[in-house]
Amino acid sequence: MKYNTLIPELTVKNIERTKSFYVDIQGFDIEFERAEDKFVFLSFRDAQMMFEQFHDSGWTIAPLEYPFGRGINFEIGVDNLDLLYERVLLTCDDNNFGSIRVIEKNGGVSLLWLFSIFLAILL
């Protein structure tokens, strides 16, 4: 495997929910996982990302407040944006009207926008 020169590693609240979203719904592959450390390294085409569940001895340098990942945007190219949009929309809880409205309003036109929304929800 060739490693990208830049691979973001993000702190998340729940590693299992994060893995489920990226692997089961978005189609990412698990390249490496340390379950005991609640860490996973994922890839999708040429994109690579690492996720680690928050813990007291992590790399945290300032207080973390929900939602984690504010101000971070990632753009990943896909072949079928409509299919991705449908998968993401299906992950919204029936009572999560704010997210549903934002997703529907943007019609899935920008994967960057969709990932920004869901990073804020999941992280």
Provide the CATH number for the domain around residue 48: 3.10.180
Least Cα distance to 118 among 99, 96, 90 occurs for 99
- The CA-based dihedral angle spanning residues 75, 97, 28, 113, taken in that order and rounded to the nearest 10 degrees: 0
Asked whether residue 27 is domain-assigned, the answer is yes
Output the pLDDT for position 111. 42
% of the chain at pLDDT higher than 70? 63
Contact between 48 and 7 under an 8 Å Cβ cutoff? The reply is: yes
Average model confidence (pLDDT) for the chain?
75
Q: What is the domain extent for residue 89? A: 9-55+68-122
User: End-to-end alpha-carbon separation of the chain, Å?
Assistant: 27
Task: Give the number of domains in the chain.
Answer: 1
Tell me, yes or no, whether 60 lies in a domain.
no
Is residue 24 in some structural domain?
yes
117 pLDDT tier (thresholds 50, 70, 90): very low
